[in-house]
Structure 1
Amino acid sequence: MKRGYQESSSSGSFGPPHSKFKYNPEGDAQFLEDDNTKIFAKKVADHYSARTNQTLEEREASPIIHLKKLNNWIKSVLIQLYAKRGDAVLDLACGKGGDLIKWDKARIGYYVGIDIADGSTAAHDIMVMRTITNAAKKFSFPARLICGDCFEVRLDKVLAEDAPFDVCSCQFAMHYSWSTEARARRALANVSALLRPGGIFIGTMPDANVIVKKLREAEGLQFGNSVYWIRFDEEFENKDAVDCPEWIVPFHVFKTLAEEYGLELVFVKNSHVFVDEYMKKPEFVELMRRLGALGDGKEDQSTLSPDEWEVAYLYLAFVLRKVES
């Protein structure tokens, strides 16, 4: 066992596109992709690998800095609600480990983060899982950061000595699994296989209902404001965010597919509803003040712009629970 601690616990109503299957000697034919899907996955990996670390000054100068702080607040609230002391955590599409501090505040016992991007090398095989660091020394728990495609690789084999996990998290990335049915199923199969019965899956992703509503209200196939824009059915570039293919996920289809893998819905809330509900709790008001998304309530009166608040409306938060057998 690698933990090192003692155990405690594109629109409408359609699903992801069907995959073109090919023979898999291990018998997982329904989860294998055609080459076009791998090209899209590599484009996502290359995009995130090419992003450089920003200084604090550079981050604060971002035109969407308050939106980023709000997103951090939403993730922090989810973690505080569902992570317990000593929990083992699996973080899918973890990036460069930016949420490690949040998990540390929750006093978790063990952490494994997996991401398709590897900023430390110029070239990599996204199908090969490999450890890029074995410990996060400044945190109170042992951690592993692994490079690999968590929406294609069968993780129960890779993490056989690490599982089961008490909490799985996938923040602002689950929609990247929605390029084909095979990837969507692999993502949910991985979550289900690695969570203990009763374990929790928390996440955030685009709200398809809102995006489709805005598309129907738009004059053409494009809409946005001063800090974002979305264009359908052609090459697009998203300001201060992502310049690579993305997909929207009709949540009722996501919920139905998740149920096939023994994951039941606890709640789903648009970000506006989430903020309204949890800002009624004093502990989360104080957390918002510390993070600064709405200023500090004193000298700092800065807050989200109306355009940033509109972007927040494009996302939702969800919680699923693995059914106890």
Structure 2
Amino acid sequence: MKRGYVEDRAYRSTGPPHSKPKLTHDADDDHTRDVTQKVAEHYSARANRTLEEREASPIIHLKKLNNWIKSVLIQLYARPGDAVLDLACGKGGDLIKWDKARVGYYVGIDIAEGSIEDCRTRYNGETDQHMRRKRFSFPARLFCGDCFEARLDKILADDSPFDICSCQFALHYSWSTEARARRALENVSALLRPGGTFIGTMPDANVIVKKLREAEGLKFGNDVYWINFEETFTQKKFPSSCPFGIKYQFHLEDAVDCPEWIVPFHVFKSLAEEYDLELIFVKNFHEFVDDFLKRPEFVELMRRLGALGDSIQDRSTLSPVEWEAAYLYLAFVLRKRGHSDPSARNSRASRGQTQISTSDIMYL
């Protein structure tokens, strides 16, 4: 099913509100921190799985599809020797992808302490499933903290500029307030070199709102996921003047069970432009699959991962309910305005390590 990206008319406006983020402390700040902490605790609590346990997941082929999409993005935009900033890096599930791209330096940041510790052990090759794996070819640094709250330009001044920034399945957690959404984009822009690339994946607001309006109540889903909106949104209307803080509860079997926020993409695009980040493309996952499975190298990658079977026509390994869940997401690529010498490399990689101890993790 091919689907072009079409903006929902309910979100159309001339752009994001231009009010400056509030600097005063109020009850909303406390509520945001409480919810953010719950999200961090949810991901920290998720244990690493053995290969057998992972293969038994009810959404194993959706996870493989997600990995294929992230791998395609990295293969398309990462170059050998690149310095990588991985925002909300989680347990380091993309480290192997960056290694295959032969990047030169890696900085990972995540709010969940348990996740960043798992990322550390994965980087060191200390987890069961990576015991036989060779060392990663790039030095790295790891940070624990909220990259949508903290200012990163000074913290990472000696590590930047980065050639590529990645934020996978996490940027929507910044959309709880305008201040957090702006801080996320401000951090990306401040740390990317001119001409640098920002790649990411996040929920597709158009699809979620469309499904909500088609549902009888405020909850919809299938056997592997459900989304539930609060009573506040009984009318199923979302004024374009209030594009932040539109919260819903999201459950994805064997993966996610926590609050998330709608990200109207046209607002995201306009806000990114304020921070010199230009949109290169945005594609719903269904469209992404249709487009990039036309390229032989990505067909072979899909075959190896086993998400959609052995050919473009064979989708027998991905269940219909997983394919529907994939429809909830989009992939995007932004580029920072300006030009720089792509061959220029500074000595930032010398700040990284090839073996990271617990005491080496920096806390924001």
TM-score of the superposition, structure 2-length normalised? 0.76
Matching of residue 116 in structure 1 with residue 130 in structure 2:
no
Residue 294 of structure 1 and its aligned partner are, at CA, apart by: 1.7
Q: What is the identity, as a one-letter code, of the residue corresponding to 1:84?
A: R
Select which of 132, 136, 158 maps to 1:139: 136
SS of 1:179's equivalent in the other structure is coil
Select which of 284, 289, 298 maps to 2:303: 289
Q: For 1:23-81, what per-residue CA distance to the aligned partner results, in whole angstroms no more than 9, with x for missing partners?
A: 59xxxxxxxx7221111111111111111111111110001000000000000000000
Distance 1:253 1:112 in 2: 28
Select which of 58, 62, 74 maps to 1:79: 74
Distance 1:290 1:121 in 2: 28
Q: How does 1:1-325 map to 2 (within 5 A)?
A: 12-13=10-11, 21-23=22-24, 34-119=29-114, 136=124, 138-233=135-230, 236=249, 238-240=251-253, 241-296=255-310, 302-324=316-338
Residue 136 of structure 1 and its aligned partner are, at CA, apart by: 4.6
Residue 132 of structure 1 and its aligned partner are, at CA, apart by: 6.5
Distance 1:246 1:233 in 2: 12
Instruction: Give 5+ residue unaligned stretches, structure 1.
Output: 1-10, 25-32, 123-130
Distance 2:185 2:142 in 1: 20
Distance 2:250 2:201 in 1: 21
Residue 295 of structure 1 and its aligned partner are, at CA, apart by: 2.9
Q: What is the identity, as a one-letter code, of the residue corresponding to 2:77?
A: Y
Distance 1:52 1:19 in 2: 40
SS of 1:58's equivalent in the other structure is helix
Residue 248 of structure 1 and its aligned partner are, at CA, apart by: 1.3
Residue 236 of structure 1 and its aligned partner are, at CA, apart by: 4.1
Structure 2 CA distance for partners of 1:167 and 1:274, relative to 1, 3 Å:
same
Which segment is superposed worse, 280-289 or 38-47? 38-47
Instruction: Give 5+ residue unaligned stretches, structure 2.
Output: 1-8, 126-134, 232-247, 340-364
Residue 12 of structure 1 and its aligned partner are, at CA, apart by: 4.9
Number of positions where the alignment pairs a residue of Structure 1 with one of Structure 2: 296
Residue 19 of structure 1 and its aligned partner are, at CA, apart by: 9.2
Structure 2 CA distance for partners of 1:136 and 1:84, relative to 1, 3 Å:
farther
Residue 293 of structure 1 and its aligned partner are, at CA, apart by: 0.4
Structure 2 CA distance for partners of 1:121 and 1:112, relative to 1, 3 Å:
closer
Distance 1:19 1:40 in 2: 23
Residue 22 of structure 1 and its aligned partner are, at CA, apart by: 3.5
Structure 2 CA distance for partners of 1:65 and 1:195, relative to 1, 3 Å:
same
TM-score of the superposition, structure 1-length normalised? 0.85
Give the superposed CA RMSD. Answer: 2.6
Identity %: 77
8 Å contact 2:90–2:116 — kept in the other structure?
Answer: no
8 Å contact 1:132–1:146 — kept in the other structure?
Answer: no
SS of 2:334's equivalent in the other structure is strand
Q: What is the identity, as a one-letter code, of the residue corresponding to 1:113?
A: G
Residue 301 of structure 1 and its aligned partner are, at CA, apart by: 8.2
Match of 1:29 in 2: none
Q: For 1:120-164, what per-residue CA distance to the aligned partner results, in whole angstroms no more than 9, with x for missing partners?
A: 799xxxxxxxx968x757100001121110000001111111000
